Structure 1
Amino acid sequence: MSGVPLLRAPPFPWADATVALPQVSSVGMDGPLPVSRGQFADLRAARVGGCFWAPPIVGDDPIAVVLRPGSAAEVAALLAYDEDGAALWLVPQSPAGWGHVLAGRNLQPDAVDPWSVLDRARFLVAHGDDEWIALARIAGVAVKVLSPGRFGAPGDSGDALDARAALALAQAHYRDPFGGGATGLAETIDLLATWRAALDGNRQIAAASGMAWWKKAEIRRFLWHPARPLRFARSPARALALAERAGGAVAIWPSRVSPGLIAQARQQGVPLVRVEDGFVRSVGLGVDLVPPSSVVVDALGIHFDPAGPSDLEAVLANAGFSPRLLARARALRETIVAAGISKYAADTQATVPPRAEPGRRLVLVPGQVEDDMSVRAGGHGLASNLELVRRARLAEPDAEIWFRPHPDVDAGHRKGAVPDAQVLAHADRVVRGGGMAPLLDAVDAVHVLTSLAGFEALLRGREVVCHGTPFYAGWGLTRDLAPVPDRRGRALSLDALVAGVLILYPRYLDPVTGLPCPPEVLVGRMAGARATNRLRWIAPLRRIQGRLMAALR
């Protein structure tokens, strides 16, 4: 048998995303199912297979019968399946040129997302060469086959149709689109699920605003959907107008979200979707205009603002973390730690100064940009780096304390510089240069306001004390000195936190192919020094600019 693979990639226009090549395996019909029932369940949960990126049939009302005629001439005969006015849908197998075949019937003349139909259907009538038969059996829908073909023949039992669906999956050759080599069915399902989740979120986004020019190429890919081109607007008001006209949402950078914009969007009925840098971001600083390889796309709020819910908080509070997902999170965490990866780089070579006294408790206090949005939202009035160091000393009177200035502040681009002499009134050392990862490996504990360094310290098994309310506080893994929302009443294991924060919430782009990818791909590129900066010519100019700004201050 031959044919188009059941599992296919969306039509990304900028790279070859092929995930399966048709029928190259010699697996036959004899013997047990070549694909497990568990993998059928994984496909059902992921809702992938067929053209899953096509427009959905909107609604949740049950559908009694789905008819898949191969030609207009078959319609009248198939109407015999009408059950006294029961919900019946005509979804042609080859919709081109059909027009309105039968007035008053639920006819879908264009390609549709099959899962939006089969999730609600009780019965499917289709020809044996129709891949919807396999998808229906995976979805648990009963099927009647009209003519023989790859996916079934008249009279086939449910078990026989299941075997054919399993065979179609088993006979394909699965391909890793990031490296071109072979991969497995489970990995392909995971990747397609990642793509489906992103496309489902992107489907509503009609316009974007507040994105810096040097990020736009990546943002277009993060927010791409084949059915809706993304339009960038110079002003939020223009973006709201575009989105209102298109019946969609506006994607906006959180620093560009004003109370007035929120009120205007609410008045116009336009949803706002916040887009912000991810937690394993790139091989360079955003302040050096290095485009992000990871972002978060949050329709509820944003992760750094504890005043309201966010998609991340919802994931951490409500998601079920399967043993397989937890194992994946553990492996990802171990890779990140072994490679010395932090938000902006992979670094295991940096020299860390020795402790003043071996055996004495060593505490790191990472400085922050004092007007950063996470500080304003989660600092509860505390913004001063000097005050943070002072509070750390009060909490740790006998410890050796190191203060690390934020690199954007040290570079002269952002607010928060404190003279070393003032810091050293409370700390034992000011440490600069190198990556964050080697420092975290060297210390016993970290005191943070809202810094991501606290989460990176948790990955390495370090004690973390939170003077503010970062997104990782309140889940039973940190010592929290600031108020934590009641919404975070759930205790999580470290691997569950990692699964939510690094796998389920953010989005990633492969810096080599530009395709949306799982975190493991980006982490692997960073660890292997294959992640490069598309705009690397800008960084030297930004460093010169930073030195001039620091001198002027």
Structure 2
Amino acid sequence: MTLPARVFACGFSLNKLRLLRRFAGDSTVHSVRSAGRIPSGSTLLLWGSTPPPPGLAADVALIRVEDGFLRSVGLGAELARPLSWVLDRTGMYYDATRPSDLFTPQLLARAAALRKRIVASGITKYSVGERAWRRPGRARVILVPGQVESDASLRLGAPTLRTNLALVRAVREANPDACLVYKPHPDVAAGLRARGKDEQQVRGWCDEVVTDVAMGTLLEQVDEVHVLTSLAGFEALLRGRLVACYGLPFYAGWGLTQDVEPLPRRRRRLSVNELVAGTLIAYPTYVSRRTGRYISPEQALDELLAWREAAGQPNRAWQQLRRAVLRLTVARP
């Protein structure tokens, strides 16, 4: 998406504002807190589900900004710099209550090739986790990814179940004989975001809890993935896994998932490659860590692979110290 020469921004932290200026390219970004400083006919960028400031002129164009789906090697809560953001003029991909700019049925051959490379490389949104994991010797293994319960994707995309414990209980009740593997959200496992309500009770409803295992490693070995709105469901679709949605993520309602919640607004049927074309090619904006310039998703994948290779094994002492500082300064519920 090409931005006007001058844009205004609201709802961005200082760190996100710094990143926004990189993503904006040649556009000048003015940070504002009130509608009075935003001229009529201009463009306002909002982070995520941030509401527009009261009194905003009706002819101000709104563009919402969020993390893209191939983001970084490292956690956003640890301030790992993102390679991709999405800019949406209509809504936001996790908001099941309204449309977004996400899906376009184009570039399917390119999408198929990109999907194949992502799966082969094991790259996921954060690409963290070091431990090996072996599938339990059970006939049916279901992965249940946890989420940060204060996130907007649950507030806007989970009309019934909204906690990790409620999800795991629902999955267990529907699948009493399956092996359930629960993976807490990496921000929560790192202590950078708060645990969900009664999340410690999850152990009583699942067979195994895994933390420092890469999502790609798990997705290659499980049979099914059951989610509220977690991006892990999308990553599972890339790998041909059965995905059951108990909420309304952006990839639900297109005929690719088993949906517990109805979503009549989505009437089209998409292939996985159409979903990839919209989600990874047409929708996000990618910016190079090296040059600060716009790059393609294929180039972003190249950079992520090089980043992961260069990162190697983390220095545990430094990682713990960094996380302790972040808990005191930027960690949030």
Find the partner of 1:363 among 142, 160, 164: 142
Residue 37 of structure 2 corresponds to: 242
Tell me the CA shift for residue 346 of structure 1. Answer: 6.8
**Counterpart check, 1:334 vs 2:135:** no
The alpha-carbon distance between structure 1 residues 410 and 268, as it changes in their structure 2 partners (threshold 3 A), is same
Task: Give the aligned residue type for 1:543.
Answer: R
Residue 289 of structure 1 corresponds to: 79
Q: Secondary structure of the residue that 2:143 maps to in structure 1?
A: strand
Residues 33-70 of structure 1: per-residue CA shift (max 9 Å, x gap): xxxxxxxxxxxxxxxxxxxxxxxxxxxxxxxxxxxxxx
Residue 373 of structure 1 corresponds to: 152
Task: Give the aligned residue type for 1:242.
Answer: R
The alpha-carbon distance between structure 1 residues 219 and 532, as it changes in their structure 2 partners (threshold 3 A), is farther
Tell me the CA shift for residue 205 of structure 1. Answer: 5.5
**Counterpart check, 1:352 vs 2:147:** no
Task: Give the aligned residue type for 2:29.
Answer: L
Return the alpha-carbon distance in structure 1 between the equivalents of residues 233 and 83 of structure 2.
21
Q: Secondary structure of the residue that 2:204 maps to in structure 1?
A: coil
Tell me the CA shift for residue 218 of structure 1. Answer: 2.9
Q: Which structure would you say has the larger RCO, counting Cα contacts within 8 Å and 6 or more residues apart? A: 2
**Counterpart check, 1:475 vs 2:254:** yes
Q: Is the 8 A contact 1:512 1:531 kept in 2?
A: no
How does 1:123-522 map onto structure 2 within 5 Å?
A: 198-199=1-2, 202-203=3-4, 206-225=7-26, 228-233=27-32, 235=33, 237=34, 240-244=35-39, 247-255=41-49, 257-258=50-51, 261=52, 264-265=55-56, 267-312=57-102, 316=103, 319-321=104-106, 325-345=107-127, 350-355=131-136, 357-358=137-138, 360-417=139-196, 422-486=201-265, 488-522=266-300
The alpha-carbon distance between structure 1 residues 419 and 499, as it changes in their structure 2 partners (threshold 3 A), is same
Task: Give the aligned residue type for 1:521.
Answer: Q
Tell me the CA shift for residue 268 of structure 1. Answer: 4.8
Return the alpha-carbon distance in structure 2 between the equivalents of residues 508 and 546 of structure 1.
26
Q: Is the 8 A contact 2:165 2:199 kept in 1?
A: no
Tell me the CA shift for residue 477 of structure 1. Answer: 0.5
**Counterpart check, 1:543 vs 2:333:** no
Residue 12 of structure 1 corresponds to: none
Return the alpha-carbon distance in structure 1 between the equivalents of residues 262 and 309 of structure 2.
38
Residues 506-536 of structure 1: per-residue CA shift (max 9 Å, x gap): 1101122111011101111112337989xx9
Q: Is the 8 A contact 2:73 2:308 kept in 1?
A: no
- With structure 1 as the length reference, what TM-score do the two structures score? 0.55
Q: Secondary structure of the residue that 2:28 maps to in structure 1?
A: coil
Q: Is the 8 A contact 1:346 1:527 kept in 2?
A: no
Return the alpha-carbon distance in structure 2 between the equivalents of residues 515 and 532 of structure 1.
21
Residues 71-111 of structure 1: per-residue CA shift (max 9 Å, x gap): xxxxxxxxxxxxxxxxxxxxxxxxxxxxxxxxxxxxxxxxx
Q: Which region of structure 1 is more displaced relative to structure 2, 467-476 or 210-219?
A: 210-219
Q: Is the 8 A contact 2:128 2:213 kept in 1?
A: no
Return the alpha-carbon distance in structure 2 between the equivalents of residues 502 and 350 of structure 1.
27
Q: Secondary structure of the residue that 1:442 maps to in structure 2?
A: coil
- CA radius of gyration, larger in: 1
The alpha-carbon distance between structure 1 residues 524 and 252, as it changes in their structure 2 partners (threshold 3 A), is same
Residues 391-419 of structure 1: per-residue CA shift (max 9 Å, x gap): 01112111100111111122223233466
Residue 121 of structure 1 corresponds to: none
Tell me the CA shift for residue 435 of structure 1. Answer: 1.7
Structure 2, unaligned stretches of length 5 or more?
none
Residues 209-251 of structure 1: per-residue CA shift (max 9 Å, x gap): 22222233431132234xx522123x2x1xx333315x31110
Q: Is the 8 A contact 1:365 1:448 kept in 2?
A: yes
Residue 78 of structure 1 corresponds to: none
Task: Give the aligned residue type for 2:302.
Answer: G
Q: Secondary structure of the residue that 1:450 maps to in structure 2?
A: coil
Structure 1, unaligned stretches of length 5 or more?
1-197
Q: Secondary structure of the residue that 1:383 maps to in structure 2?
A: coil
Say what the alpha-carbon RMSD is for the aligned residues.
Answer: 2.6
The alpha-carbon distance between structure 1 residues 389 and 320, as it changes in their structure 2 partners (threshold 3 A), is closer
Task: Give the aligned residue type for 1:523.
Answer: L
The alpha-carbon distance between structure 1 residues 404 and 244, as it changes in their structure 2 partners (threshold 3 A), is same
Task: Give the aligned residue type for 2:99.
Answer: P
Residue 53 of structure 1 corresponds to: none
Tell me the CA shift for residue 340 of structure 1. Answer: 0.7
Task: Give the aligned residue type for 1:520.
Answer: E
Return the alpha-carbon distance in structure 1 between the equivalents of residues 6 and 308 of structure 2.
31
Return the alpha-carbon distance in structure 1 between the equivalents of residues 132 and 79 of structure 2.
26
The alpha-carbon distance between structure 1 residues 262 and 230, as it changes in their structure 2 partners (threshold 3 A), is closer
- With structure 2 as the length reference, what TM-score do the two structures score? 0.89
Return the alpha-carbon distance in structure 1 between the equivalents of residues 192 and 215 of structure 2.
19
Return the alpha-carbon distance in structure 2 between the equivalents of residues 340 and 403 of structure 1.
19
